[in-house]
A and B are shown apart, each in its own frame.
Chain A
Amino acid sequence: MPSTSSPGDDPAPGDRASTIVPASELDRLIQVLRRQGRTVIGPTLGDGAIVNDIVESADELPWGWTDEQAPGRYRVGRLPTSEAFGFANPTQSFKRHLHPPRTVLFAASRDHGGGSAEVPVTIAAAESAPPALALVGVRSCDLAALARLDAALTPRTGSRATRSWGDGAGATPTANVDGGPLRALEPFVVAVSCSRPGQTCFCASMGTGPTPGTGYDLALTELVDGGPHEFLVEAATDAGRAVAAELLGRPAGAVDHGRAAAMADRAAAAMGRRLDPDDPPAAGRHLDHPRWRDVGDRCLACANCTLVCPTCFCGATEDVTGFDGEPDLERTERHLVWDSCFGSSFSALNGNPVRASTADRYRHWLLHKLVTWHDQFGTSGCVGCGRCITWCPVGIDLTEEVAALARPTTGVAS
């Protein structure tokens, strides 16, 4: 979110300044953002997959590439058309760019001058300022996830997080304040409506897509319905309007909005999966369901699901000392590193994990994600991106598990 507008000022869709630009204007968009001093992160073709990475020109977008996703399986393929955003979602969300796998929190140095019994210790906050980012191609699921992650990372004073970054889920923010630590980084957000959701997608049933809710500066819809290859550009903030004004196009009309709406309807109908909102609370009542043990037998406790999840926020701290640098090795850094509830140290008390079995850990993960997140943050912890299904090496599918767990007598694997 930009600094130039408060989060509450998103206009209703009809009021949004909207433009139609040709596909060739995407490069101008990226260059305008780069000229603002921003590092642009967007989708690009990596090692046999569409990944989010630094992009310096629109040439680096995955034009004409798509993805096929299924439980435990991912492949890229060519499209007959040359779409820039003709895939479901990149391997990882933007989480790693705003909440990296390892962050230095502070450093402590010991000063041995004078040899007194009391050794003074200097504590210094990590000094490096994070780069100004522009996130391009943010899917509606990932847009909703940014808000939920931000809420989860916000220090709380009351019983519930204060949230302000728009949330496509339509959940009611409890307060309209300045947002959490991610929003404080002020990324410029270019959202993109989905045209080709994947077989593991279910954002439509989570209320988080396929069209972006709120929390973006610009929203793009790639019009690929047989007409000209154009983008509908909608600006939601002053910063967004300023960038949109630099693009060469024409004002969008009712016909253009109609094309975009029709594409959104098709995308919503094309999702490969859905999650019945009644199932999670039912699963939460069946804590002794035999399916928990069954999924525990299949689960590898490898943590992929939590690491690719755009809302999983858990971290651990490490105190790091080394050999390089100070000759006396007296400099300690405290690092915040990604952690996962699938590891034994995560719930360790006095050296032993509270959740000893993998079945216990899977149950904790699923019920936090889908049930107790509501109590904690006022939303679901799941935005329906499907990544945990695709990137699970044994293809465990939370929509299938929760549907089985919701029913006490059926769906139990023998």
Chain B
Amino acid sequence: MTADRSGDGEVPAGDDRVSLAVWKFASCDGCQLTLLDCEDELLAVADRFRFAHFLEASSAVDDGPFDVSLVEGSITTADDVSRIHDIRERSAVLVTIGACANAGGVQALRNLADVDVDELRSIVYPSPELISTLASSTPIADHVEVDLELPGCPIDRNQLLEVLAAFLAGRAPNLPTTSVCVECKARDLVCVAVAGAEPCLGPVTRSGCGALCPSVGRGCYGCFGPAEAANTSSLVERLRGDGVDDGRLTRLLHTFNAWAPGFRDQPVAVADPTRSGR
């Protein structure tokens, strides 16, 4: 039993709702809060799903097993590793939500940097001996089988509702893996990369956000992670040709999905928080 199983929740007799659990690993809680952000639909969701373990909503939790688990955050401690296996065992369907759970999150920058975790720990924390951490931040799928990955930093509430609705209907969710450009063009937005001078990761980033950043005149930050068949090196070459220097390219690619295959293998300099050069 882990600490998460010490709850006082009970399944009310005759409650045939789908049991839903929400779990947190190394993360900011923004993705799971997306569920509470479904304000207009929240009551309809609660009619069909019982929040069996959702600490952002209620301290009443039960032990499972769970029909659906939503898992937020990346694996960064030894305890995380055992906890995710335990959750997998108790979950019929496991859906990871967000860039941390899918790709290691911004905290996976340490996987890329040539830096000693003990050194980092002593720089950041006043009492480093209290902190126990792994040398890397890794996606959930590196540890257990994942049924579905919902992308984003944070995830999109409509995509979350789509997954829950699809689960109820017993159908595959409509979650396109094509580029953000597809949504941009469907919305008839003017391309900020071609008609402006904004570096935009949209062509190599997975759709699902509704082209949020281009809709406000900003280039895509890649928060949904690589699109299928992301050809990031060709885009990087184009951006270099436009005069975007390596420092800016690094900052562009080394964010929420820095460790995602498709972004992490780009030959741009890696920012090192402790050293001036490598």
Residues of A within 8 A of B (CB): 46-49, 51, 53, 72-76, 91-92, 96, 101-102, 297-304, 307-308, 318-324, 327, 329, 332, 337-338, 340, 342-345, 358, 390-395
Is there contact, CB below 8 Å, between A96 and B200?
no
In the bound complex, residues from chain A placing their C-beta under 8 Å from that of B45 are 323
In the bound complex, residues from chain A placing their C-beta under 8 Å from that of B174 are 318-320
In the bound complex, residues from chain B placing their C-beta under 8 Å from that of A338 are 182, 185-186
Complex Cα spacing A352 to B86, Å: 32
Chain B residue at minimal CB-CB distance from A346: B178
Complex Cα spacing A297 to B232, Å: 10
Does chain A have a CB within 8 A of B44? yes
Does chain A have a CB within 8 A of B193? yes
Does chain A have a CB within 8 A of B41? yes
Is there contact, CB below 8 Å, between A48 and B190?
yes
Complex Cα spacing A72 to B234, Å: 13
Is there contact, CB below 8 Å, between B161 and A300?
no
Is there contact, CB below 8 Å, between A391 and B186?
no
Complex Cα spacing A303 to B204, Å: 11
Does chain A have a CB within 8 A of B15? no
Does chain A have a CB within 8 A of B217? yes
Complex Cα spacing A344 to B45, Å: 32
Chain A residue at minimal CB-CB distance from B185: A307
Contact status of A92 and B196, CB under 8 A, knowing A329-B48, A391-B191: no
Complex Cα spacing A143 to B41, Å: 44
Chain B residue at minimal CB-CB distance from A319: B171
Q: Write 13 A-B pairs (CB below 8 A) sorted by A numbering.
A: A46-B190, A74-B195, A300-B204, A303-B185, A307-B181, A319-B174, A321-B168, A324-B44, A327-B47, A343-B177, A393-B191, A394-B234, A394-B235
Is there contact, CB below 8 Å, between A308 and B185?
yes
In the bound complex, residues from chain B placing their C-beta under 8 Å from that of A304 are 181, 185, 191, 203
Complex Cα spacing A266 to B230, Å: 42
Is there contact, CB below 8 Å, between B195 and A302?
no
Excluding A300-B204, A393-B202, 7 further A-B contacts by CB distance (< 8 Å) are: A47-B189, A51-B190, A101-B185, A300-B235, A304-B185, A322-B161, A338-B186
Q: Map CB proximity to A onto B196-221 as digits: 1 under 8 Å, 0 otherwise.
A: 10001011100000000000010000
| Pick from B41, B186, B196, B203: contact of A323, CB under 8 Å | B41
Chain B residue at minimal CB-CB distance from A337: B186
Is there contact, CB below 8 Å, between B234 and A299?
yes
Does chain A have a CB within 8 A of B165? yes
Is there contact, CB below 8 Å, between A302 and B188?
no
Does chain A have a CB within 8 A of B130? no
Could you tell me the distance in whole angstroms from the C-beta of B242 to the nearest C-beta in chain A?
9
Is there contact, CB below 8 Å, between B190 and A91?
yes
In the bound complex, residues from chain A placing their C-beta under 8 Å from that of B188 are 51, 53, 91-92, 96
List CB contacts (< 8 Å) of B22-47 with chain A. 40-41, 44-45, 47
In the bound complex, residues from chain B placing their C-beta under 8 Å from that of A307 are 181-182, 185-186
In the bound complex, residues from chain A placing their C-beta under 8 Å from that of B265 are none
Could you tell me the distance in whole angstroms from the C-beta of A398 to the nearest C-beta in chain B?
16
Chain A residue at minimal CB-CB distance from B171: A319
Contact status of A358 and B190, CB under 8 A, knowing A92-B185, A324-B44: no
| Most-contacted residue by chain B among A47, A319, A392 (CB, 10 A) | A47
Does chain A have a CB within 8 A of B194? yes
Is there contact, CB below 8 Å, between A393 and B185?
no
In the bound complex, residues from chain A placing their C-beta under 8 Å from that of B200 are 393
In the bound complex, residues from chain A placing their C-beta under 8 Å from that of B190 are 46-49, 51, 91
In the bound complex, residues from chain A placing their C-beta under 8 Å from that of B203 are 300, 302, 304, 393-394
Is there contact, CB below 8 Å, between B195 and A49?
yes
Is there contact, CB below 8 Å, between A394 and B238?
yes
| Most-contacted residue by chain A among B40, B203, B204 (CB, 10 A) | B203
Complex Cα spacing A33 to B40, Å: 40
Could you tell me the distance in whole angstroms from the C-beta of B21 to the nearest C-beta in chain A?
19
Does chain A have a CB within 8 A of B59? no
Complex Cα spacing A354 to B238, Å: 29
| Pick from A321, A324, A358, A394: contact of B40, CB under 8 Å | A324
Is there contact, CB below 8 Å, between B48 and A300?
no
| Pick from A72, A340, A358: contact of B194, CB under 8 Å | A72
Could you tell me the distance in whole angstroms from the C-beta of A250 to the nearest C-beta in chain B?
39
Could you tell me the distance in whole angstroms from the C-beta of B188 to the nearest C-beta in chain A?
6
| Most-contacted residue by chain B among A75, A322, A327 (CB, 10 A) | A322
Could you tell me the distance in whole angstroms from the C-beta of A298 to the nearest C-beta in chain B?
5
Complex Cα spacing A303 to B191, Å: 13
Does chain A have a CB within 8 A of B76? no
Complex Cα spacing A97 to B204, Å: 27
Does chain A have a CB within 8 A of B10? no
Chain B residue at minimal CB-CB distance from A75: B195
In the bound complex, residues from chain B placing their C-beta under 8 Å from that of A91 are 188, 190-191, 195
In the bound complex, residues from chain B placing their C-beta under 8 Å from that of A47 are 189-190, 195, 217
In the bound complex, residues from chain A placing their C-beta under 8 Å from that of B186 are 101-102, 307, 337-338
Does chain A have a CB within 8 A of B19? no
List CB contacts (< 8 Å) of B201-260 with chain A. 202-204, 217, 227-231, 234-235, 237-238
| Pick from A74, A303, A320, A393: contact of B178, CB under 8 Å | A303
Is there contact, CB below 8 Å, between B235 and A74?
no
Does chain A have a CB within 8 A of B176? yes
Chain B residue at minimal CB-CB distance from A329: B168
Does chain A have a CB within 8 A of B134? no
Chain B residue at minimal CB-CB distance from A308: B185
Complex Cα spacing A49 to B138, Å: 43
Is there contact, CB below 8 Å, between B196 and A393?
no
Could you tell me the distance in whole angstroms from the C-beta of A324 to the nearest C-beta in chain B?
6
In the bound complex, residues from chain A placing their C-beta under 8 Å from that of B228 are 301, 343-344
In the bound complex, residues from chain A placing their C-beta under 8 Å from that of B57 are none
Does chain A have a CB within 8 A of B169? yes
Could you tell me the distance in whole angstroms from the C-beta of A42 to the nearest C-beta in chain B?
14
Does chain A have a CB within 8 A of B179? yes
In the bound complex, residues from chain B placing their C-beta under 8 Å from that of A299 are 231, 234
Complex Cα spacing A51 to B217, Å: 16
